[in-house]
Amino acid sequence: MFERDVASKNLGIELIELAEGYAKMSMTITDSMVNGHAITHGGYVFLLADTAFAMACNSGADATVAARCDIRFLRPTKAGDVLVAEAVERARFGRNGIYDVSVGCDGAAVAEFRGDSRTIGR
């Protein structure tokens, strides 16, 4: 799936590790990703977390999409920082799943994301 993800690749998102129900990805914040406060625009942090969520959800045999997700921003980052998102499956039941994604930078927590998935088949 990541091979066909043009949006994520164009933003420089890299797949570090992938396993059943798990994904680890990174993205370097560029000058074009910061807002008027000179900190990373929250949309980019969300996008990285959402991409890791998508890879973890789709690590099995079934095609899966997001049904709901939310994020808590914990600390700002800036241009040049490398963000790492780690997505972990917490529960899977029927066509539904729950995933947690932690986004960090230099060992410090940046954001916590939770996503609910829905299997749609392949």
Distance CA 40, CA 11 (A): 13
Distance CA 8, CA 36 (A): 23
Decide if 25 contacts 44 (C-beta within 8 A). Answer: no
Residue 122 scores a pLDDT above 80: no
Residue 65 burial (C-beta neighbours within 10 Å; 0-12, 13-18, 19+): exposed
Structure tokens at 90: 């917490």
Distance CA 88, CA 23 (A): 7
Decide if 30 contacts 38 (C-beta within 8 A). Answer: no
- Any idea what DSSP says for residue 3? G
- Any idea what DSSP says for residue 34? B
pLDDT digits (tens, 9 = 90+) for 101-111: 999 999 999 99
pLDDT digits (tens, 9 = 90+) for 38-89: 999 999 999 999 999 999 999 888 899 999 999 999 999 999 999 999 999 9
Q: What is the mean pLDDT of the chain?
A: 95
- In this structure, is the dihedral angle defined by the CA atoms of residues 29, 47, 49 and 51, taken in order, positive or negative? negative
Structure tokens at 122: 């392949």
Domains of the chain by start residue, with CATH: 2-119 (3.10.129.10)
pLDDT digits (tens, 9 = 90+) for 1-38: 787 889 898 999 999 999 999 999 999 999 999 999 99
